[in-house]
Every structure is written in structure tokens, then in C-alpha cells.
């Protein structure tokens, strides 16, 4: 069984709007509710720690979801700081060798089949595992005016998704070392890679979208409302 850390302390600057995107309503409930439902309805996930912005006025105050514990903590200035804070809020029953998952609150369209495959990969790979999608489009490098400067090789390039799964002790150490080095890591795998480890990429669904801009919300709403 695993706990999941859910970074939900972001402001949604690229999205804009009055309230943080994780609290926008889709199909009748906040986006974060869909994310919690996808995670905590999975039989192998036993609880969640949500990293919230300080004095978050929107958090509904859930202390459990489908009978499973939901803990909260105060996140940090960067996503990695929020994940590090959530690690500290885990129960003592989660040992250094226990695999924990990290999943963006802003990715509500997560399927159990992806969680199943991620957990299997994390059990088989001590370096951890993460959902990812192979790059299938041609990649261009642009100048400041978005004029193409050329085409980048895309062989063996993947887009990192979440959840990402690592042993608690490894993740804690990796994040601490990145912070100590002043390196802002954009995902947990980056921190682990800095230690010379090679987490397993697990091909995940392309519709496991992160809501980043308003256009993403319309697509995610369609996906969540489509059975």
C-alpha cells in the first residue's frame, strides 16, 4: 500500500482567473475532488497528504475521502518545496523503504490502469518510476519571436507526467540534495536523476492532462464528463 503526496499549493499564474485552478468546478465539483477520487478510489492507495497554500481559503477541509485519511500541510514557494513539506506530514507507518506517489492536483483525469502499471514498475525498479508519454511530434527550437531556429531530435524523448513513485527515503534525500545545491527541480524524477539514478519511465495515457491554461480546462472537462 502507498500514500500519495498531492502538491496543491500553486497559484495558477499561467491559468489566470480569480481562484486557483485546482478549485475550479468541473462536472459539479472542484478539480481537486476529481483528483482525490481518482487516487483514493484505488485499492493500493491508503491515504493522501495535500500540500496547500498558506491560509488557503478554498480547501474544503476534507480529513478523509472514501474512508481513507487525508492529511494537509503548508506547501512552499516551488512545487518541489511543497512535495518536501508533504513528505514531512506522512505518518510514521510510512518507512524510508515505503514507495510513495506524487501526483499533481492539476491532473484530475488519472486512470487506475496507469496507477497499476506505475506501482508495478516502482516495485521492480529501486530507482523509482514515473508515468511519461513518448514525444510523437516533431520538436522545434524557437527564438524569442517564436520563429523556428531548427528541429530537435526527438528519439527517446518523453514528456514526464505524474504520478511519480519513489521510496520515501530516496525521495526525501534527493529533494534535500537538490535544495542544498540550489537546483529547482521541476519534477521528483529530476531530483533522483541528479543522484545518478535512472527511474523507469512508464508509458502513461496522453489524456492524463495537467490543467495549466484555460484551454486545458475545457479539454479536461470534456474528458471527465465523457464516461
Ligand X SMILES: Nc1ccn([C@@H]2O[C@H](COP(=O)(O)OP(=O)(O)OP(=O)(O)O)[C@@H](O)[C@H]2O)c(=O)n1
**Residues of this chain that bind ligand X (CB under 6 A):** 7-15, 22, 51, 75-79, 82, 104-106, 210, 212
C-beta of 212: minimal distance to ligand X in Å? 5
Cα–Cα distances in Å, from 194 out to 70, 109, 178? 31, 29, 8
User: Interface residues for ligand LQXTBERG in 33-92 (CB under 6 A)?
Assistant: 79
Residue number, 94 or 201, with CB nearest to ligand LQXTBERG: 201
CB-closest chain residue to ligand X = 10
SS3 content of the chain, % helix, strand, coil (to 5): 30, 25, 45
Q: How many CB atoms lie within 10 A of CB 88?
A: 9
Q: Report in angstroms how near the CB of residue 189 gets to ligand LQXTBERG at its nearest.
A: 8
d(CA 160, CA 111): 16
List binders of ligand LQXTBERG among 142-161 (CB under 6 A): 160-161
By CB under 6 A, the residues from 2 to 41 that bind ligand LQXTBERG are: none
- Answer yes or no whether residue 213 interacts with ligand LQXTBERG by CB under 6 A: no
The helix-helix angle for 79-88 and 168-180 (nearest 10°) equals 140
CA angle 103, 212, 77 (to 5 degrees): 65
191 to each of 161, 173, 174, 197, how far by Cα in Å? 15, 9, 5, 9
Q: Which residues have C-beta within 8 Å of that of residue 80, sequence separation ≥ 6?
A: 175, 178, 179, 184, 185, 186, 188, 191
User: Minimal distance in Å, beta carbon 62 to ligand LQXTBERG?
Assistant: 23
The verdict on 162 binding ligand LQXTBERG (CB under 6 A) reads yes
Rounded Cα gap, residues 110 and 3, in angstroms:
16
- Residues 103-132: x where in contact with ligand LQXTBERG by CB under 6 A, - otherwise, as a string: -x----------------------------
Residue from 64, 113, 186, 213 binding ligand LQXTBERG (CB under 6 A): 186
Size of the site for ligand LQXTBERG (CB under 6 A): 8
Instruction: Choose the one of ligand X, ligand LQXTBERG, none that binds residue 186, judging by a C-beta under 5 to 8 angstroms depending on kind.
Output: ligand LQXTBERG
Is 210 an interacting residue with respect to ligand LQXTBERG (CB under 6 A)?
A: yes
Contact indicator for 88, 200 with CB cutoff of 8 Å: no
15 three-class SS = coil
Binding site for ligand LQXTBERG (CB under 6 A): 79, 104, 160-162, 186-187, 210
Amino acid at each position: 500500500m502507498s500514500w500519495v503526496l498531492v502538491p496543491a499549493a500553486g497559484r495558477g499564474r499561467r491559468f489566470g482567473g480569480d481562484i486557483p485552478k485546482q478549485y475550479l468546478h468541473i462536472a459539479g465539483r472542484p478539480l481537486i475532488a476529481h483528483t482525490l477520487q481518482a487516487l483514493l478510489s484505488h485499492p493500493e492507495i491508503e491515504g493522501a497528504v495535500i500540500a496547500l497554500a498558506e491560509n488557503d481559503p478554498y480547501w474544503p477541509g476534507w480529513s478523509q475521502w472514501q474512508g481513507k485519511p487525508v492529511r494537509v500541510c503548508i506547501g512552499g514557494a516551488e512545487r518541489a518545496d511543497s512535495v518536501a513539506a508533504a513528505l514531512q506530514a506522512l505518518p510514521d507507518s510510512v518507512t524510508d523503504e515505503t514507495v510513495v506517489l506524487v501526483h499533481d492536483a492539476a491532473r484530475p483525469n488519472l486512470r487506475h490502469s496507469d496507477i497499476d502499471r506505475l506501482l508495478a514498475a516502482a516495485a521492480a525498479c529501486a530507482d523509482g518510476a514515473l508515468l511519461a508519454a513518448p514525444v510523437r511530434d516533431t520538436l522545434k527550437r524557437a527564438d524569442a519571436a517564436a520563429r523556428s531556429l531548427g528541429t530537435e531530435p526527438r528519439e527517446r524523448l518523453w514528456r514526464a507526467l505524474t504520478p511519480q513513485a519513489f521510496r520515501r527515503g530516496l525521495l526525501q534525500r534527493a529533494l534535500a540534495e537538490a535544495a542544498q545545491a540550489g537546483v529547482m527541480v521541476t519534477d521528483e524524477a529530476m531530483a533522483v536523476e541528479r543522484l545518478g539514478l535512472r527511474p523507469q519511465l512508464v508509458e502513461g495515457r496522453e489524456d492524463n492532462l495537467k490543467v495549466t491554461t484555460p484551454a486545458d480546462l475545457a479539454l479536461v472537462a470534456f474528458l471527465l464528463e465523457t464516461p
